[in-house]
Each structure stands twice: as structure tokens, then as C-alpha cells.
A and B are shown apart, each in its own frame.
Chain A
């Protein structure tokens, strides 16, 4: 039986040397094929998510996963094909047992891969791989479906935007579809700027066609024939893979002048971001695509009504689009079976920081933080204790141990002062200082905000000043009052979403870790030993 060797060539594994591993494997295979004992093919795939244990090599259909593979291991891997797996390259589970299949690995065992359905199994550079697994069937189906029904299906699925705010996707499409103002545009927001989040990078690198298919279905639903894919320039591989996928889809007659010969056209172009976090905000991104300076608009107008060049525009995040082919293919009702009442489907999280198994994790909405951090992630390395998890990027909140059993969904997270954001989950242990983390986030936002409105620019400047003082041991309680009024003004009077949420990291650390502020102010002490004025352990 033919063996296929899958070499993970996501950014993480490439950093670990997977390209050299792939080359060495190819060489060994060519030597091997001379005697034709086992027929073997090799494929370079996108990210398997378990980047920390990369480079990852999988043997199919035997379902063997090897981790931390080096060039020197390749001869043995090829030599053992069809025989016994190379024991020492297998994952050792929590009980110390070597496990062969990905599904026996606790990191993968409880994940539910919908968005990441193809990643790690297909070659992102080969459109036929995607088509072979049923790709672009949903687009064909959408072509013969009235736009109204496409939108209903998305509404039925309960899908909410994966970029941060969680706006219902179907409703967004319906609003844009309702305007009789052409041309309309569709934009993919791939300016994944939240530090600690990389699911969009992985999807774009590993399964770009699923995103293109979602975009095309959206375009059909709202009546757009032009679209833009805005991708961070820090993601060179994602940019390359998406451009190739786009060209391949156009050459295959799937996108471009006539989608599957339907006479309907869709022209997509890739826009490289300029490295401005605030461009992830929808109106800032629109301004940036128009050629302006990428700052959020002043006016109270929704892009669905007046977006790009003041035309109705739907902007969705990468992960949102990647869900669409599933919803149209299998029906909205089926999708809605997964998740909680108000948050349907799955969510991909980037589980990073002080955690034993870090990487990309896809779980149904409603999974608890404990399940994600301890069951999948294996908890905190060493003997240290869990302290907090930051969810939702720099404008998200830090949740304490007492909230580990809350359900991870849009509304629950909001009610505790955090937010879904794009899905970064940064785990912190007792050696992390929460005041310093608040300062770090504020400093990030102070540099990354556009600098237009007073509460955001001056408020963050002042917050940074105060938090620097507290971390330096010269803060006082009067400062905390000022912090509170600034946070309120930020929340209610800022011009855009960045400012309105900028207070979250400060507010949640004040709410859940008031003791740490007290220690810094009253005792001039940083128990975590980060702030340099207390005694480090």
C-alpha cells in the first residue's frame, strides 16, 4: 500500500528545520524507490498546531506522528516504513507511554477540527488536494442557490465573527445584501495583530482555498464582484501561499471572470498590511485599502452600508470565512449542533505562554478554560502554579484561577471583563507579575493606537505613566483613582473599538488581582520578582 509522508511546513516547523527534513526525506525516498519495496509519496503540509514539538512528520495511512524530527532521523524513518514505528520519535503521553496516532496524543485527543479540517493533511500549494477532499463543492452549491437562501443558511448556523466582536455573520451579510448600491465589496481581515494569536496565519498558510471559497460564497450572497484580502506583511509564507492559491483558483476557472462558468465574476486582490495594529479595526483597514493613512473613521457609519469607497462592504475575519464552506456544504443546522446556545461552532485558540503543550487548539465553543489549559495544554510546566490566562489579545482581560471553569464563549467571556478577540490564550504562572502585564499591554496599545482621539492617546499615555510608577515602586493610591476615571473615559468616549476596549487588561487585573497592586504600592514589593524592586525568588 502506498505510504504518504506528510512533513509539516508551517512557520513554526520551518523555524525548527522542517524544510531540511523534507529534503532529506525526499532524497531517502528516491534511493528507496530504486528497489520499490514500498511505494512512497511526500507532501509538505500546513501547520499541525503543535509547533512547540516540531518539526512534525506524519506517515499515512499508518497514522504515525513523529515529533522533533531532525535530518539525522530521516534514514530511520524511511527504513522503518511499513514496519515498526521509530519509538523514540513518538509522543510520550502524560503516563509516559509512547503513542503512535495523533488521536492518542492528549494535545489532539479532545480537539474538534472543523476549521483546521484539512490543515496538516493537504499540500496548501496544490489545489487538487483541496478539491479531492470536497473543496469548492460548497461554492458550486452556492452558485445554484438564491443569495437569500445562502444568507438564511448562514443565519441558521448561528456563526458569529471570529475576529473579535462576535457580530452575527449572517446578519452582517443580510444588511449588506439589502442595499441596492453597486459595486459592493468583500474584504478578508487577515491583519492578525493580537500578540499571541496565530490561527489566521496557520489557516492562510495551511488551507488558503477554504478561505477563498468562503469569500466567494459571501460575494455571491451579497452581490459583490470584487474583494480584497488584507494580510499582515509579517506573514511572508501566508502571503505566498494565498497568492498562489488565488492564481491556481483563477487558472482553474473557479474564481475570476466566470466562477465555474456561471457568468458571475469575482476578482480578488491581496493587500499587504503595513505593520499597524490598528488597521485590524474595520474602518481603519478600509481607509488603508483606499490608500489613506490607516486610522479609524470618525463617522458613525457601518461598512455594511458605506464601506470601501463608500459602498456596501462585508468584512470578515479569516477563520469566519473558513467556516463558511462547511455551513453551506453541510447545512447551517448541522453547524449549529456544535457549541453553546449563543456561540455556535468551534473556535481555534493559540494556547501559548507558560504552558506544557502549546500550540493551536480547536475546540467546540463552551469548552471550559480548565479543559483547554489543563487537559489539552497539560497545565503549567515544572512545579509552578497557574496564575492567570489572558484572552482576547492586548485589549482582552486576564482571568484568574477561580474562573477556570467558566465556559469559553462570546458572552461569558465578556461578562467577566475579557473577550474572545481573535483567540489568543496566553497562560501565566506565578512568576508573571500582573501589574507588569497590565503595563505591557498599555504600552503596546499606546504605541499602536492611531493617536487621534484624546481619551485613547492621552489616556493611555497617562495610564502608562502611572503603571510605570507603580512597577517602579513609587506609585500611590491616588494614582488608582485616576486609573479608574481614565478607564471609564476610554470605554465610553473613545473613537473606535481599540480605545473602547483598551482598558480591559487594566480593569481585569485590578478586579482579579488587587493584592498585587497593593503590594507594589504599599510594600514596594513584586512577589513575582519581575519588577526589580522586590526580592526575586
Chain B
């Protein structure tokens, strides 16, 4: 989603024009848009007075940024060591199968994207994933199917009203 210009400027106004605010500003843009649209990166570089190449490098350096549009719900599958030895690979395969997407991809309804992360810090519940800010632990194929259904129902309710 591309923001209207005045909304974008509002985001900018929260920060002084200084390169030290590049990271939080990009984070704010991503929070609003779900990803970092190219035109906003260019505007942000202009606003902060930082060379575009540096802002672009930053956006590709930090793992949390995406330059591609993502689903409404971003599923972060933990591949930390504890999850890895408890077969997080299966979680990923299950999700890929259920949603017909690859890692980094978005399903056809634009509802879910699947990503892997290093560690969600909920290792005692391995294997774990996070959707939005919600954690889901001790995942099995069944529980993953249920969780996705839950989100779909939530969506249907929202859309139904």
C-alpha cells in the first residue's frame, strides 16, 4: 500500500532531518505499508538528506525490511537452534503446502506471507511461529491448519460486516 503524500509527510515530521533517524523512519513506513515501497524510500532519503544508496543499502541489510509487498498477516517461522532441532523445517513445509507459497512469498489472496526468522525467543515452546504480534508454540500440522483457519474466519467476519 502506497501512502498518500500528506500521510507520508506526517510520518517524516515525527523525526528531525538527521541520518540517525533513518532506521526508525523506515520501520514506521514499513509498519504503515507492510513493506518498503520504492517511492517512499526515495522520499525518505531526500527528507533525511542521506544518499539514496545508503538508505537502500540499509533497507536490504536489515532482515526485518521487505522491499516487496507482503500479506496482511506476516507469518514468521522461527528457525532458531532449539526450533531447528525440533523440526521447524516441517512447520515451514506445512505452511508452504497449505498456502502454496515459497519463503518470502505471499499467498494468492494477499492474506499471508511466510518468512523465517532467527529466533523468536520462545524456545521452550519450540517449534514456534509468530503471526503479527501473536506467538504460537508447540506447533503440529493440525495446529497450524487450525491457526490459519482461525485467521481466515476472523477475516471473513471483518469482511462480512
Nearest CB in chain B: distance from A395 CB, A: 12
Q: Which of A59-67, A180-188, A346-354 is the contact stretch?
A: A346-354
B62 nearest in chain A by CB position: A274
Residue of A nearest to B24 (CB): A272
A172 to B82, CA, bound (A): 33
A141 to B119 CA separation, bound complex (whole angstroms): 38
Query: What 1/0 flags go to B45-83 for Cβ under 8 Å of A?
Result: 000001000100110011111000000000010011111
A440 to B83, CA, bound (A): 12
Which residue of B20, B54, B64, B82 has the most chain A CB atoms within 10 A of its CB atom? B82
Question: CB distance A358 to B20 under 8 Å?
Answer: no
Residues of B within 8 A of A352 (CB): 82, 123-124, 126
Question: Do A236 and B133 touch (CB < 8 A)?
Answer: yes
Min CB gap A450→B, angstroms:
8
B121, A234: Cβ atoms under 8 Å?
yes
> Using Cβ atoms and an 8 Å threshold, which residues of chain A touch B27?
233, 272, 274
In the complex, A465 has a CB within 8 A of chain B? no
| Interface presence of A235 (CB below 8 A) | yes
Report the minimum CB–CB distance from B59 to chain A (whole Å).
Answer: 9
* A158 is an interface residue with CB less than 8 A from chain B: no
In the complex, chain B residues 7-42 whose Cβ is within 8 Å of any chain A Cβ:
18-24, 26-27
Are A291 and B123 in touch, CB under 8 angstroms?
no
Cβ contact within 8 Å between A428 and B85 = yes
B contact residues around A235 at 8 Å (CB): 121
B63 near A432 (CB under 8 angstroms)? no
Contact A426 B122 (CB under 8 A): no
Q: CB-CB < 8 A to B1: which residues of A? A: none
B91 within 8 A of A: no
Interface residue from A11, A271, A393 paired with B23 (Cβ < 8 Å)? A271
Contact, CB under 8 Å: A275 / B121: no
B99 at the interface (CB under 8 A from A): no
Q: Mark A253-297, 1 if CB is under 8 A from B, else 0.
A: 000000000000000000111111100000000001111111100
In the bound assembly, the distance between CA atoms of A197 and B27 in angstroms comes to 25
State in angstroms the CA–CA spacing of A136 and B57 once bound together: 42
Contact of A198 among B85, B118, B121 (CB under 8 A): B121
Residues of B within 8 A of A198 (CB): 119, 121-123
CB distance from B8 to the nearest CB of A (A): 19
> Is B84 located at the chain interface by the 8 A CB criterion?
yes
Cβ contacts under 8 Å, A291 to chain B? 18-23, 50
- What residues on B are CB-neighbors of A16 within 8 Å? 125, 137
Question: Please, which residue of chain A has its CB at the minimum distance from the CB of B50?
Answer: A291
Contacts of A194 in B (CB 8 A): 119
Distance between A353 CB and nearest chain B CB, rounded to angstroms: 5
Bound-state Cα–Cα, A282 to B23, Å: 17
Known: A11-B121, A233-B27, A234-B121. A274 touches B65 (CB 8 A): yes
Q: Closest approach, in angstroms, between the C-beta of A309 and any C-beta of chain B?
A: 9
- Residues in A whose Cβ lies below 8 Å from that of B151: none
Q: Report the Cα distance A432→B81, complex, angstroms.
A: 11
- B71, chain A: closest CB distance, angstroms: 18
Contact indicator B117/A275 (Cβ below 8 Å): yes
Give the docked Cα–Cα distance between A139 and B140 (Å).
47
A515 interface hit (Cβ, 8 Å): no
Q: Chain B interface mostly helix, strand, loop or mixed?
A: mixed
Set A195, A232, A275, A294: member contacting B82, Cβ < 8 A: A195
Q: How large is the interface on A (under 10, 10 to 19, 20 to 34, 35 or more residues)?
A: 35 or more
Residue pairs across A and B with CB atoms within 8 Å: the count is 143
Contacts of B54 in A (CB 8 A): 292-293
> Inside 8 A of B126's CB, which chain A residues have their CB?
352-353
| Cα–Cα, bound, A59→B22 (Å) | 47
Q: Is the CB of B80 within 8 A of A293?
A: no
- On chain A, the residues within 8 Å of B124 by CB distance are 12, 50-52, 350, 352, 358-360
Q: Which residues of chain A are within 8 angstroms of B81 by Cβ–Cβ distance?
A: 195-196, 353, 390, 393-394, 424, 426, 437, 440-441
A38 within 8 A of B: no
Which residues of chain B have C-beta atoms less than 8 A from A58's C-beta?
none
Contact B58 A293 (CB under 8 A): yes
B61 touches A276 (CB 8 A): yes
User: Beyond A11-B121, A275-B62, A291-B21, is A432–B135 a contact (Cβ under 8 Å)?
Assistant: no
Chain A residues contacting B121 (CB-CB under 8 Å) are 11, 192, 197-198, 201, 232, 234-235
* Contact call B135/A11, Cβ cutoff below 8 A: yes
Interface flags, A439-479, vs B, CB<8A=1, else 0? 01100100010100000000000000000000000000000
- Report chain A residues within 8 Å CB of B20: 289-291
- The distance from the CB of B116 to the nearest CB of chain A, in whole angstroms, is 10
Cα(A293)–Cα(B53), bound, Å: 11
- Closest A residue to B80 by beta carbon equals A195
> A52 CA to B124 CA in the complex, in Å?
5
Question: Could you tell me if A193 and B118 are in contact, using CB atoms closer than 8 angstroms?
Answer: yes
Chain A positions within 8 Å of B84 at CB level:
195, 440
Alpha-carbon distance A444/B78, docked complex (angstroms): 12
Q: A15 contacts B122, CB within 8 Å?
A: yes
Interface: A14 (CB within 8 A): yes
**Which A residues are closer than 8 A to B by beta carbons?**
11-12, 14-16, 50-52, 192-198, 201, 232-237, 271-277, 288-295, 350, 352-354, 358-360, 390, 393-394, 424, 426, 428, 432, 437, 440-441, 444, 448, 450
Apart from A274-B58, A291-B22, A426-B82, what are 5 other A-B pairs with CB-CB below 8 Å?
A12-B125, A51-B124, A234-B119, A292-B54, A352-B123
What are 22 contact pairs spanning A and B, CB under 8 A? Answer: A11-B121, A12-B135, A15-B122, A15-B128, A15-B137, A16-B137, A195-B80, A198-B122, A234-B117, A236-B133, A271-B24, A272-B23, A290-B19, A291-B21, A294-B61, A350-B124, A352-B124, A353-B126, A358-B123, A426-B123, A440-B84, A441-B81
